[in-house]
Homo-oligomer: A and B are copies of this chain.
C-alpha cells in the first residue's frame, strides 16, 4: 500500500505545433499545470499520449522532454506499446535509459494468440528490465484481449507486475480484481483508466486513477482522490458529477470518432484554455474544426472554465 504509484496519474496528452512537431512550451504549460494541481504522477505515451501514432524518434523526444520538464517532481510512467514482445522490450530499454520510473505494456496485439503467450510476454518484458516496475495496461478496445484477473494477480505475486492500468471498461471484472488482489496481500497497484465512473472504482477500492480528462481539469480529480482517502464519499460524488459534466466535451462533437473525437476534444479544450498553442493531431487524424470547436467551448464555459482563445482562433491554429 506504500506504492509510489497511487493517486491521480493523468495520461499525458502530447501537444503538437501547427507543423506537427512536439510543442515544448505547451508541454511545459500542461505538465506544470497538472503537477501544480497536485497530481501524484504522470503517464507519458499512453493511448491518449499518441504512442501508436509516434515514430520511435518521436517517442524518444516525448519521453525526454517530459522527463526534463517533470524533473523528478512526480513519478513518470512510460507507455511501451507495440505489437509483440521483442518490439516492446526495445521500447522498455529505451524508456529505462531515459529515466522512466515505471513502464506500461499491453498484451501483445495484431498477431493472434492465447493466454500462454500473454503470460510469457509479460514475463519476458520483466526479465529484460527486471529493476523497472512494470504495469499491465488492460485495454481490450485497442488490443482485443481482456487480461484475466487471476493471471494479473499471479504475475503480481511473482514480482513480474507492479500494477495494472485498467481501461477495460468492465467494472465487474475490476471489482473482482480488487478483491482478489486484496486477498493475495495487495501485490498490485490497481489504477482505473476511467473518467466519469472513478467514484465507482474508488468504491471498489482502486489505488488510483489515470483519467485523460485530468489534462483539462486535474484539480477536480485531485480533490476526488483526497476525499476518497478521507472517506468523504459525498465529496467524491460531487467532484465526479462535475467532472462527468465536463467530460461531455468528448460527446458533443459530430462526424468524428475514436481517438479523433476523444483526444481531439482534450486538445481542443486545452487550446481553448490557452494551455496548448494548437489542437493539432497526429497523422492520419485531423484536428477538430468549426462547429465542433464551438460546442466544446460551450461545454467548457457551462462548467465555469475561462477561455483564453476563441473557437475561431483554435480552428485556425492549424492549416489542415
Chain A interfacial positions (CB closer than 8 Å to B): 47, 52-56, 58, 81-87, 90, 108-114, 116-118, 120-121, 124, 141-144, 169-172, 175-176, 179, 194-197, 199-201, 203-204, 231, 233-234, 236-237, 240, 244-245, 251, 256-260, 282-286
Contacts and interface: CB of A to CB of B under 8 A. Distances in A.
Given A141-B112, A142-B110, A284 B196 contact: no
Nearest to A174: B197
A53 B199 contact: no
Contacts of A170: 169
Given A110-B142, A171-B197, 20 more contacts: A47-B110, A47-B111, A52-B87, A52-B110, A54-B87, A55-B90, A85-B282, A86-B283, A109-B109, A111-B142, A111-B258, A113-B285, A114-B258, A124-B284, A175-B196, A176-B196, A179-B244, A200-B200, A200-B204, A203-B237
A112 B259 contact: yes
Secondary structure dominating the interface of A: helix
Contact of A172 (B56, B196, B257): B196
Contacts of A172: 169, 194-197
B283 A84 contact: yes
A284 B84 contact: yes
A241 to B, nearest CB: 8
Contacts of A200: 171, 197, 199-201, 203-204
